[in-house]
Amino acid sequence: MAAVHTRREGPVLIVTIDRPEAKNAIDAAGAALINAAMDELDNDTSLFLGVITGAGGAFSAGADLKAASRGGPAARADRGPFGLCETPPGKPLIAAVEGVAFGGGFEICLACDLVVAVEDAQFALPEVKHNLVALGGGAIRLPRRLPYHVAMEMALTGAAISARELQAYGLVNRLAAPGSALAEALSLARELLRNGPTALAATARIMRASAAAQEESLWRTQRELAALALTATDRAEALQAFAERRPPRWTGH
């Protein structure tokens, strides 16, 4: 079975990340499939909005670090990291989150327009624990979604925060009972579909453009600054330690 698959429910495209044995970690092939699904959503005039979710009780643990430790290609495609983070679709996109949304999984949520999550879902940007940088827009979007110091603590500690806490900050729109995130997201989708589809897309694009002011230059700045960490000796050590299931031995280089 493909690592990502799609199905339609009327004018809604449901995109499911389906690697439960790896907590839906995303590799280059998975990113390409997400990218293709976002292209389908944008290009098919019979589709009005999308929902992205994960199979097996998790949303996504983010990048496949085991693949990265073997020298595999980065989990990115034409739309950027994880197949959508730099260039989300023009139509509204809802994240339906069960379990963990870590690293790239959280960054996918940040790239979505609406987030529905079960109460005990956990969100985190743990990249710093592996001497990595959140290159899927997490460091760019998080301080625009949360109070600055809350965002900074999440990004610098790599600690997880619950969906209930994030709802209090306005990052999660709706909470759902365990196992029902997708059903609740589809219920929200049906509310949106009572409205005109072209107006939905136009409104989402305008609001995104407002929220993303200066974002293009921030992506460039991010690449320049992240290069310092991503070319460091500590990055190779972090990936090796992850593969060997041991604590990393940092050198500061």
Domain boundaries, the chain: 4-178
Other beta carbons within 10 Å of 88? 25
CB 193 within 8 A of CB 49: yes
pTM of the model: 0.86
Q: What is the pLDDT of residue 143?
A: 93
Report residue 83 as tokens: 């197949």
Sign of CA dihedral 85, 129, 179, 2: positive
Q: Is the pLDDT of residue 228 over 70?
A: no
More confident residue, 210 or 15: 15
Please state the CATH superfamily assignment of the domain spanning residues 4-178 in this structure: 2-enoyl-CoA Hydratase; Chain A, domain 1 (3.90.226.10)
Phi, psi of 187 (to 5 degrees): -65, -45
Exactly one of 86, 98, 107, 184 is catalytic; which is it? 107
Q: Which of 86, 98, 127, 184 is catalytic?
A: 127
* 127 annotated active-site: yes
**What are the pLDDT digits (tens) for 27-81?**
999 999 999 999 999 999 999 999 999 999 999 999 988 877 776 677 778 999 9
Q: Which residue has the higher pLDDT, 220 or 107?
A: 107
